[in-house]
Structure 1
């Protein structure tokens, strides 16, 4: 069946579509993993229970006619049904505005998928009349507001630290008679784990924008930080800022050791090597072949040389063939992989992994709470006005504490 082809909706139950939808949205082999899948499954289950009349107030009997005994089907759905569900979510359940919007968004995404798959004729959930009962937008943009919590930051950094230590130890303690290719495999695994650890620690603790760390294919000035840009002794790093100029960013103590260990293991041929090179095999294979050909090597010799290495990255290191830095898309892929491997609990409407910008926002939370807006603005390379706007919830909470303290003081004098 081609996408959008109408199905026989009268005998298709809502629940019967969930598994296919969740597989499409899930992570890993067979689409069985991922936080988004888990959260979406929970909300879909609540929706189908509500549609069957098992949720809501005593007057709610569901979307199936009273004189019919069956489970809800797609033939029962229209924009009025989604309007009622929006009203149900926004009812007196103690849910915050953004939470209501998030829960509805899960159902809306499924509705859109159903249109593409031919279960529904129209995206009823996105119609204005269906969404009208939802609470008004409070000005926040949930998709842009992820901030790594302290628990998430510690879980991720602990995971990459343990993984890197194990991989480096496995490589450095190999017996002397280990076969050369086995040594290469162990070194490659250690390099990749060490790069991931260094990258996560930099994101988690420096608050540098990910676009300032990595390569932008559309901007030659953003070629990704190189080892020549780092001063581990001084604890600083030169980055090309959002304001279109080079500036020094701080490297706090937690970042120094992972970077130093990673550099020692990599032993880059020159200081112009990227700190976070791509490990993508296709990209490196093409790069190695082109560079060796430009150096005068014949195709047969190139093939013979490549066969001596388990990965082209190791050949590139030995022959000083400088790879490109990873891009922001590559960073997202790395963090998706690591978030899933670390089994980090994430409940966010847009990201089912710890997104790159969340490290910066999480560090901003820490700095504002510890040192105030002025210091945080300097560290984040933002104006104090912008930092106050983005982290206004912290000041609101602090003012609430002041008000509480004032009330207690007055009440104690009565």
Structure 2
């Protein structure tokens, strides 16, 4: 496949010619210009190119282009030996920890895989065993599963959604009595959406409930999303279908109660069988309203007329008790991506450039282990103590280090 603009075969193109397209594919927002992953990947691609040119190696390193050739590195210069040398280069940097070396290499490996799909390379050289051999041994930690919301991140996100919900609710409740009905509906809709997002974030941030226990899983009909009938705000508890395939009560700590109570009061669901976190997807709701009202015997023209009286189909669904489905686990991830970006939260993670749902659970695990120990944390997290000790072993290691330091201080003092 020859590039119409340059007349070059893909293998003849400079490495840099692929960077912008790759970063756009991986970026967020309009044009793929945003996102922490894009920023971090761009940094590592720059470093890789500098090394490939010969600017980041030792005094004997001249890059991957043959010494008698005067050009920038191209894809025809890449093979598994090149990636092996780069892995050795990263591993030889004594300032990098094992996990950091693995993380930096993953950025380059991901780009390599993309280049194979786009026709720049014939094979995914970076993933070959010989290429990865110089990397430090995996210490058992999986960076993609290790995100934990820090206290600062949790506070920043909850503060953001709280402010947005308060503003939206105030806008709705302070509308004048003579406001246009459709304007009032739009304001209520925005307040409901902001209140739902706030409640969702607070639940994920403070309850440590698995997102699959809270929301709908399209692949598992038993996981249809928690309903209002399964919440007891007075007792501070919520019934969820646990990972161990049975119903169990989860705790609702104090920070969660007020957002949920305010949200329920604003929504005023027709029955307690409504999902706590319904979808607001317009296409889904439009089809649902049409089908349900048609099943009730409404004429299509009447349905269209009814829908025209509402600013959003969700509000008609509320009035007619057309129960929508819960948002899905993927939907929650999309919401958190949007909210993390809107809140301007700084996130440095190899896999997630937003505060992922499981990070809220892990963050609470950190808090509980440090405050009350592994036994209490295991009960709250609905895990075995052995598993919690394994996942949060770094906390015990740090505490033992403090004990050793204190012991040495007393002996040497």
TM interval, shorter chain, is over 0.9
Matched-pair contact (CA < 8 Å) for 2:54–2:62 = yes
- Structure 2: state its 5+ residue gaps: none
Take 1:17 and 1:319, find their aligned partners in 2: how far apart are those partners?
53
Match for residue 283 of structure 1?
A: 284
Q: Distance in 2 between matches of 1:2 and 1:300?
A: 55
C-alpha distance in structure 1 between counterparts of 2:318 and 2:93, whole Å: 62
Match runs of 1:295-310 below 5 Å: 295-310=296-311
Aligned to 2:132: 131
Q: 1:39 offset after TM fit, Å?
A: 0.7
Indicate conservation of the 8 Å contact 2:347/2:353, yes or no: yes
Tell me the distance in 2 between the aligned counterparts of 1:77 and 1:272.
Answer: 59
1:406 is aligned to 407
Shift of 1:107: 0.4
2:160 pairs with 1:152? no
Checking the alignment, whether the CA contact within 8 Å between 2:12 and 2:74 is kept in structure 1 is: yes
Aligned to 1:332: 333
Listed one character per residue, the Cα deviations across residues 259-286 of structure 1 (whole Å, up to 9, x for unaligned) are 1111111111111111000111111111
Question: Does the 8 A contact of 2:158 with 2:202 survive in 1?
Answer: yes
- CA–CA separation in structure 1 for the residues paired with 2:172 and 2:286: 24
Corresponding residue of 1:112: 113
Q: Partner of 2:347 in structure 1?
A: 346
Query: CA offset at residue 11 of structure 1?
Result: 4.2
**Structure 1 residue 301 displacement after superposition:** 0.6
Structure 1 stretch displaced more, 402-411 or 174-183: 174-183
Structure 1 CA distance for aligned equivalents of residues 298 and 158 of structure 2: 43
CA contact (8 A) 2:2 2:10 kept: no
Deviation larger for 69-78 or 24-33: 69-78
Alignment of 1:329-408 (within 5 A): 329-408=330-409
Q: Which residue of 1 aligns with 2:260?
A: 259
Change (3 A) 1:89 1:311: same
Mapping for residues 208-223 of structure 1, pairs under 5 Å: 208-223=209-224
Name the counterpart of 1:173. Answer: 174
Q: Secondary structure at the match of 1:153?
A: helix
Q: What's the CA shift for 1:10? A: 5.8
How far apart, CA to CA, are the structure 1 residues paired with 2:223 and 2:239? 12
Separation in 2 of the partners of 1:221 and 1:53? 57
Counterpart Cα distance in 1 of 2:224 and 2:27 = 33
Residue 35 of structure 1 and its aligned partner are, at CA, apart by 1.0
Does residue 16 (structure 1) correspond to residue 17 (structure 2)? The answer is yes
In 1, the alpha carbon distance for the partners of 2:279 and 2:229 equals: 18
Q: Is the 8 A contact 1:56 1:88 kept in 2?
A: yes
**CA-to-aligned-CA distance 1:28-51 (integer Å, 9 cap, x gap):** 110111111111001101111111
TM-score by length of 1: 0.96
> 1:261-315: CA deviations, max 9, x gaps?
1111111111111100011111111111111011110111111111111211000
**Residue pair 1:269, 1:320 contacting (<8 A) in 2 also:** yes
CA distance in 2, matches of 1:170, 1:121: 57
Q: Structure 2-normalised TM-score? A: 0.96
CA displacement at 1:68 relative to structure 2: 2.8
Cα distance per residue 1:345-394 (max 9 Å; x no partner): 11222212111111101100000000000111111111111111111111
What is the CA–CA distance in structure 1 between the aligned matches of 2:46 and 2:160, rounded to whole Å?
32
Aligned equivalent of 1:196:
197
- 1:99 is aligned to 100
Mapped to 1, the partners of 2:381 and 2:57 lie a distance apart of 46
Q: Please say if residues 2 and 8 of structure 2, whose CA atoms lie closer than 8 Å, have aligned partners that are also in contact.
A: no
Q: What is the alpha-carbon root mean square deviation over aligned residues?
A: 1.6
Give, in angstroms, the shift of residue 2 of structure 1. 10
Q: Distance in 2 between matches of 1:90 and 1:166?
A: 50
Question: Are the structure 2 counterparts of residues 77 and 220 from structure 1 closer, same or farther at C-alpha, using a change threshold of 3 Å?
Answer: closer
